[in-house]
């Protein structure tokens, strides 16, 4: 099956975790994938490991010049952009109440999670407008819907991603460009493994299925969202929470 034959996909946070899993799924279905990550050594290694038409660009989603340069490089090489998946994100302070969170810590989470989503969409859309086609998927979180105690910075910035998705989806609803979000519950990744175990247990206990999601489940749903078949859904946040969110 080659749903993405000849399409070009740009995936942030592509060195590992969600980004790598989604990149692998799209590449297997024919996409030319450009990985974007601030860990230069790891993102290059991931591109080599995935092989085929997967390449890598090192950069930081929170820095406008870095994002703009990456899209300009992609445009020079491929001359088109069909898919963007913004997986880059950080947790920040966890298992901590708001008064203990510094402004610097909050701003660091905001810069990656929300500002990064804004910048990636800002530079992706003009390339998609040329052909009046595109799929943008912003990775939010169940924390952005429900809020997680002890994770105020993460929860609020992911709620912002959902709001950005709703706004952008409506702005481009009359074009061939869709903008959607994905709200996972706990997915076992290196980012989750680095969190306070008490916080991870708190989040997992809220899942009716009483288990974490898998990278394979993330990749399968994401591939549908950014496929040509998903043409009548935009400004929507897809649930991947094992029953935690039912709205």
Tens of pLDDT along 193-247? Answer: 777 788 778 878 888 888 888 999 999 999 999 999 999 999 999 999 888 876 6
> What domains can you pick out in the chain, each with its CATH number?
8-233 (3.40.50.720)
Provide the token pair at 86: 């913004």
Using pLDDT thresholds of 50, 70 and 90, give the confidence band for residue 140: very high
For the stretch 38-52, pLDDT in tens is 999 999 999 999 998
Tell me the average pLDDT across 65-85: 98
Using pLDDT thresholds of 50, 70 and 90, give the confidence band for residue 120: very high
Share of the chain above pLDDT 70, in %: 98
- pLDDT score at 193: 72
Tell me the average pLDDT across 138-167: 96
Provide the 3-class DSSP secondary structure of residue 17. helix
Report in angstroms the alpha-carbon separations of 149 from 102, 105, 139, 159, 202: 16, 16, 20, 14, 9
Identify whether the C-beta of residue 201 lies closer than 8 Å to the C-beta of residue 7. no
Which residue blocks in the chain are alpha helix, DSSP H?
A: 17-28, 40-50, 64-78, 103-110, 116-129, 142-146, 152-171, 190-193, 197-205, 215-225
**pLDDT at 11 > cutoff 80:** yes
Using pLDDT thresholds of 50, 70 and 90, give the confidence band for residue 55: very high
| Number of residues that this document lists for the chain | 247
Residue with tokens 């810069």: 111
Catalytic center residues: 154
Distance separating alpha carbons of residues 213 and 197, to the nearest angstrom: 17
Report the Cα 216 to chain-centroid distance in Å: 15
**pLDDT at 63 > cutoff 90:** yes
Identify whether the C-beta of residue 21 lies closer than 8 Å to the C-beta of residue 218. yes
Share of the chain above pLDDT 90, in %: 83
**34 closest CA partner among 63, 69, 9:** 9
Strands 54-58 and 177-184, sheet pairing: unpaired
Between 68-82, 133-147, 161-175, 232-246, the lowest mean confidence (pLDDT) is in 232-246
Using pLDDT thresholds of 50, 70 and 90, give the confidence band for residue 174: very high
């Amino acid at each position: 099956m080659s749903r993405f034959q000849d399409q070009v996909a740009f995936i942030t946070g592509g060195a590992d975790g969600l980004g790598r899993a989604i990149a692998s799924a799209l590449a297997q279905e024919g996409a030319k994938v450009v990985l974007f990550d601030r860990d230069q050594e790891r993102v290059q290694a991931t591109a080599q490991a995935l092989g085929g038409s997967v390449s890598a660009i090192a950069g930081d989603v929170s820095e406008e010049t870095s994002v703009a340069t990456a899209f300009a490089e992609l445009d020079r090489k491929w001359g088109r952009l069909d898919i963007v998946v913004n997986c880059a994100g950080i947790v920040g302070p966890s298992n901590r109440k708001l008064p203990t969170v510094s402004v610097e810590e909050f701003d660091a989470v905001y810069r990656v999670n929300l500002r990064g989503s804004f910048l990636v969409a800002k530079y992706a859309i003009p390339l998609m407008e040329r052909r009046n086609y595109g799929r943008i998927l912003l990775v939010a979180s169940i924390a952005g819907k429900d809020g997680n105690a002890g994770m105020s910075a993460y929860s609020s910035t992911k709620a912002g991603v959902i709001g950005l998705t709703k706004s952008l989806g409506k702005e481009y609803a009359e074009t061939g460009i869709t903008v959607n979000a994905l709200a996972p519950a706990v997915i076992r990744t290196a980012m989750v493994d680095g969190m306070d175990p008490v916080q991870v247990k708190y989040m997992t206990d809220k899942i009716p299925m009483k288990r974490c999601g898998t990278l394979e489940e993330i990749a399968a749903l994401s591939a549908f969202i950014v496929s040509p078949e998903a043409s009548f859904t935009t400004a929507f946040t897809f649930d991947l929470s094992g029953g935690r969110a039912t709205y």
